[in-house]
Amino acid sequence: MDYSLGIDAGGTYTDAVLIRDSDGSIIDSNKSLTTYPDLLKGIRNTLDGLDQHHLEKVGYVSVSTTLATNSVLEKTGYPVALILANDADVPNRSKIEHFSLVKGGHNSAGNEVCPVDLESVREFVLRVKDKVSAFAVSSYFSVRNPDHELKIKELITELSGLPVVCGHELSQDLGAYERGITAYLNARLIPISSHFMKAVSSEIERRNIDAKLMMLKCDGSVVGISEAPKKPIESVFSGPAASLVGASYLSGTEDCVVIDVGGTSTDVSVIHNGIPELSDSGALVGGWQTKVKAIRMETSAMGGDSHVWVRNHVTNIGPRRVIPLCLAASEHPEIIEKLKQNQVILRNQIGENLQPTKFFIRSGLELPDISSAEDDLLSRIGDKPLTVSEIYWNENRLPSPATLDLLIQKRLIKTIGFTPTDALHVLGEYTQWNKEASVLGAGILAALSGTDEEEFCLRIKEDVAINMAQNLISFLLEGVSREEIEKVLRGKFFAGFKVYLPVVLLGGPVKAYEKGLADFIDAQIILPEYCSVGNAVGAVAGKGAKKLEVLIKASYTESKYNLKTSSFVVFFPGGREEFASYHEALEFGEEIGSKLIMNYMSDAGLNTADVSIDMHRSDIITHEGGLPVETRLAFSGIGEAGKGRKMEVE
């Protein structure tokens, strides 16, 4: 093996880097547009731009992606049904269209407290199976006994044949609701993740590259690409994790804060002593609290491709991403003439989807289950960008914003509009695409907001810089509200914010925001040479890692005078075992923990001979000289994935 290849598929660009294994030097890189829904085309275009002689000698490939994150942020995942076997309702059930609460669950000892109501499960599955793409299941204390989840899963598979994700398969942390949400989001992402993995694998195979294929997870570790589609929720922050690992690699520092400005979002995270900081409570994404072990991160749905739209003189940025006008006009030059015509939309009709600078085009994706209203609207949209006026050219009405939104969520149509990237084109600070389209779009929106093109674009640029600073400070000052931080950033005070760690910037046009960010925070700001492909660097620089916990608890029987220890129960990921003696339970716990770590590393495609395992034991003892009533065994395994060393840029 001579070289390692890193690939990152973002919402806008698919990046790739080649790293020489002998010294870790980056020897080549390339960027191409991400192509959706056919991701393969974008991956192929990116790899075509690399040195093909070096590409032939690649022995290790690792990938990362923000596609899963973007899907959750933009609410464009596939429809999923959630079944919760619990005695507590779901707090955010209004956000889940297909949901059922059934009787069932266990207690903390893993004993059944209520038989699972499989008849209710049967009725629910038969009612919704033709409306969803997968099911998610979570039961009370399934981390102590997954029996009810497994019974529900078996019945769903029998009745529908659809994929089923169980909470205990993804997390061993307590919290039936959070495990349920984790399973729910995981199920929504399975088609997206599988499509991406297949695209990467098929392209590597087509090029006859004999390489180990890995994927970066959201905790900065890697997993075999064959295993990754089973738990796509673990990739939900793999893009940000890649930016963190890549920023550390590119800047040559093991202590830094990273601001990654992508097409859809802006993410802030920190690495300290070379180790990414993980969230104690699990990843929070799109308002959903999950049990996924991920890097701690502050994220906002504002990026280079966020939709800029105006309503009632107020300029809004995001949360949806669109194809920038400047980029779309490069492929569809007719957009220029349509912008010059400046379609008229009444002020009381204007909204996020009904904008004079927004265009719609079919994505090429087909779904059979759509309503007649959706089908009617979709039939009016073709392979060329259309304004809302053109879609209903001969009718005295505009498309329903709700129907348009459903087609966007289902990814049946793509949208084009004004973005911060267009604003940078107008200001001359980023000129990769068609500037004329950006200028025309700025003129239309500036008139709606009551200003001129330059001032309009400067405000957008400032808003993006403030958002970067706000995310950064909010991340570092936990517990301080974003509103108070924004008040300081936008105010005129003889005080401000100072950051003591270096701040590394990553992203395509991020250089344009370097000075603006420095106006709001006092910090050492680093802009690495390969900042535009930092995520691809991080994808290939990750290591294999796995953490898990085994719990040993005493079980009691009540005698005439006191409680008496009857056995010791070992709880581990995927099961439980009961032993007559504590020493038997401890021996089994130590063995099963190490075995599960090694099995994971083997499934991940890592050489188990290179894996090191650490175990930390903590006991709870009620009286001196007595046996522990509870023992926790925390296992941590590390395995080398790639061969890259400290970077030396050529």
Are the CB atoms for 522 and 535 separated by under 8 Å? no
Q: What is the pLDDT of residue 72?
A: 52
Query: Which run of H or of E encompasses 590?
Result: helix 582-603
Provide the pairing of β-strand 323-324 with 413-417. parallel
Question: Which residue positions in the chain have pLDDT lower than 70?
Answer: 1, 36-37, 66-78, 87-95, 169-177, 180, 185, 189-194, 218-221, 223-240, 279-294, 368, 394-397, 542-545, 556-565, 603-607, 625, 639-650
Tokens of 515: 């000075």
Backbone angles phi, psi at 238, to 5 degrees: -70, -30
DSSP H helical ranges for 604-631: none
Q: How far apart are CA 598 and CA 608, in angstroms?
A: 6
Helix axis angle for 534-541 and 238-251, nearest 10°, is 90
Q: What angle is formed at CA 284 by the lines to CA 279 and CA 286, rounded to 5 degrees?
A: 160
Q: Return the pLDDT at 189.
A: 67
Chain segment 411-450, per-residue pLDDT in tens: 888 999 999 999 999 999 888 899 999 999 999 999 998 8
> For residue 360, what are the β-bridge partners?
386, 415
**pLDDT tens digits along 541-573:** 766 667 788 988 887 665 545 556 678 889 888
Rg (C-alpha) for the chain, rounded Å, is 26
For domain 74-191, give the CATH number.
3.40.50
How many Å apart are CA 19 and CA 58, to the nearest integer?
9
- Dist. CA 419–CA 88, nearest whole Å: 43
Predicted confidence at residue 344, as pLDDT, reads 73
Distances (CA, A) of 74 to 61, 322, 561, 635: 29, 11, 61, 36
- Cα separation values, 336 from 263, 325, 328, 333, 460, Å: 23, 9, 10, 6, 22
Supply the DSSP string of 19-62, one letter for each residue.
Answer: EETTT--EEEEEEEE--SS-HHHHHHHHHHTS-HHHHTTEEEEE
Residue 442's pLDDT is 94
pLDDT digits (tens, 9 = 90+) for 481-506: 888 998 999 888 888 899 999 999 98
Domain boundaries along the sequence of the chain: 74-191, 306-456, 544-639
Report strand pairing: 134-139 vs 164-166: parallel
SS3 for 300-348 is ECCCCCEEEEEECCEEEEEEEECEEHHHHHHHCCHHHHHHHHCCCCCCC
Q: Which residues pair with 148 in a beta bridge?
A: none
Give the C-alpha separation, 393 to 391, whole Å: 6
